[in-house]
Amino acid sequence: MDDLYLPFPLRRSGWWRAYVRLRRTLDSDASAAQVARAWARLSRALVGAGAASLAAAVAEALVSGEPPLGRLGPAARGEELTDGIRELLARDLEALVKAAGFAARKDGTEGTAGLPRLDELAPPHPDPGVRALTAAVSDGDVETVMVLYLEASRTRGGGPAALHTALTWDGARLRPVAAPDLADWDALFGLDSQLRRLAANTEALLAGRPAHDALLYGARGSGKSTAVRGLLTRFAASELRLVEVRTGDLAGLPDLLEGLRHKPQAYVLYVDDLSFDVDDPTYRPLKSLLEGGLAARPANVVLYATSNRRHLLGERFSDRPALEDDDVSSWDTQHERLALADRFGLVITFPDATQRRYLDLVRGLAERHGVLASADEESALRFAEWGNGYSGRTARQFVDTLRQSAGNSADGRARQPGG
């Protein structure tokens, strides 16, 4: 639509495209059936977006879209807008408010008589800031919309992190995780020292103090991933954001860092099960991130990686340079590969689960979930021997099995006829 001057990222939204199509249908010599179909497409798009109305969709897009003034624009820095920028922004917001009010009425637009309303399609947005902006958009109060939008740009920074605490990086852009698999540190027993160090480093990040990149090293099932995912539960009231980065998407780290540089939140980039083969070149973007370069490292971003390998890079004896090798730099290359883990400022080791530690974990988890009476040692040991060995993950799986049995027994008693 040509009404917008600044590059608001609305054109990718299905509901916006459906709105533009409806308006063009109404502006043309369309039949009543064509108008009804376009109206239905817009209603389906709004329902699919979880928006209660077009006004609600506009409000959420304003809060969670990247600010059209740019990463270094006045709104991002909290500065006053120039008269020209303010006029352009006011024109855009006026066009958006007009669009939101256009389809809210049942019979307010020629050619739409008898069509259903396009508001109250979903519950109100859970975020109070979005609800306040929705009300201003619905009221047609452009000045209030301007004030609320600029405040949201300054305090939230735009993008999916404005409304979501868990995100993923796909190598090109951030995407929100609508239903994150959160974890609770209370489920991790015998890791007080490890969790205390991780919490202290994260608290430093949130406070704006120097914080380290962290490598969480230990055997599989020792609680490393749960410890990182539990940060969102531990710091739920803070401005912490957790961004999952897959190893294959590490090449996009420079773009990700630059995009987060001026955001108001603190970001933990989370790489799970990090390891590289000897000839794998994808470790180099990670090395550059850890070492730093000409561009200053954003102070609001740290990297937390989990790995089963202390040195991250796989190594075979055959990979080591031979004594008679005349390549004078071969040992330097080998040392560079093995020193990758040394570039993490904080290395937290998670202990292997011995038989005794495994049984302690079983007892702790069973007591927490109310199935301690059925958690005998012999069954727990047999479960580990038949399954995945002694680990925290195995302990959780065993206790989950006990909880299933307890639930099945309760269901069976409930289905029995009364005497």
pLDDT at 340: 66
Q: At what angle do helices 128-139 and 54-64 cross, to 10 degrees?
A: 130
What does the angle CA 265 – CA 46 – CA 38 come to, to the nearest 5 degrees?
A: 145
Residue 95 corresponds to which tokens in the numbers above?
């066009």
Measure Cα distances from 240 to 167, 203, 204 in Å. Answer: 11, 10, 12
Measure Cα distances from 143 to 35, 64, 93, 408 in Å. Answer: 32, 20, 9, 59
The structure tokens 């049984």 sit at 359
What does the angle CA 138 – CA 142 – CA 144 come to, to the nearest 5 degrees?
A: 90
Residue 124: CA count within 13 A, CB half-sphere: 10
The CATH superfamily holding the domain 185-350 is: P-loop containing nucleotide triphosphate hydrolases (3.40.50.300)
pLDDT at 9: 76
The structure tokens 């540089």 sit at 261
Burial 278-287 (b: 16+ CB within 10 A, else e): eeeeebeebe
Q: H helices within 28-141, ranges in order? A: 32-48, 54-64, 74-77, 83-102, 128-139
pLDDT at 397: 86
Helix (H) or strand (E) holding 169: strand 166-169
What does the angle CA 162 – CA 168 – CA 173 come to, to the nearest 5 degrees?
A: 75
Asked if 152 contacts 198 with a C-beta cutoff of 8 angstroms, the reply is: no
Asked if 207 contacts 239 with a C-beta cutoff of 8 angstroms, the reply is: no
What is the model's pTM? Answer: 0.81
Residue 356 corresponds to which tokens in the numbers above?
């005794």
What residue segments make up the domains of the chain, in order of their start?
14-161, 185-350, 355-415
What does the angle CA 91 – CA 92 – CA 96 come to, to the nearest 5 degrees?
A: 115
Angstrom distance (rounded) from CA 228 to CA 368 = 21
Q: What is the DSSP string of 186-230?
A: GG--S-HHHHHHHHHHHHHHHTTS----EEEEESTTSSHHHHHHT
Residue pLDDT tens, the chain, 419 long: 567 878 787 877 899 999 889 888 888 888 889 989 999 999 999 999 999 999 999 999 999 988 776 654 555 555 677 888 888 889 999 988 988 876 555 444 556 777 888 888 899 999 999 999 999 999 999 999 999 999 998 889 889 999 999 999 998 889 999 889 888 888 787 788 999 999 999 999 999 999 999 999 888 778 899 999 999 999 988 999 999 998 888 888 888 998 898 899 999 999 998 866 655 566 666 777 777 666 678 999 999 999 886 555 544 444 444 555 555 444 455 455 556 667 888 999 988 777 888 888 888 888 888 887 777 788 888 888 887 788 778 888 888 888 888 765 555 544 444 43
